[in-house]
Structure 1
């Protein structure tokens, strides 16, 4: 059943990558110069 642990590890790594990308996008969105949140 090594494949079960391997699949769980792969899914965990993918989830961490997605969460890191989401965190990076929202964290550095406010620091971009010239961006206004209320403007269209």
Structure 2
């Protein structure tokens, strides 16, 4: 998982790939937040 996170944080020359990586990071962050909220109930 850590290598995947590093891959997402590394920037490519291709702007489209960078945008996709940014979207994935945001989705993963939001999902982590949802799980944390569910655990507190």
TM-score bracket for the superposition, by shorter chain length: 0.5 to 0.7
Q: Relative contact order (C-alpha < 8 Å, sep 6+): which is higher?
A: 2
Q: Choose 1 or 2 for highest CA Rg.
A: 1
Q: How many residues matched? A: 29
Higher helix share: 2
Residue number in structure 2 paired with 1:19: 31
TM-score by length of 2: 0.64
The gaps in structure 1 that reach 5 residues or longer are 30-40
> Which runs of structure 1 show a deviation greater than 2 angstroms over 4 or more consecutive aligned residues?
none
Stretches of structure 2 that go unaligned for 5 or more consecutive residues are 1-12
Q: CA RMSD in A?
A: 1.3
Normalized against structure 1, the TM-score is what?
0.65
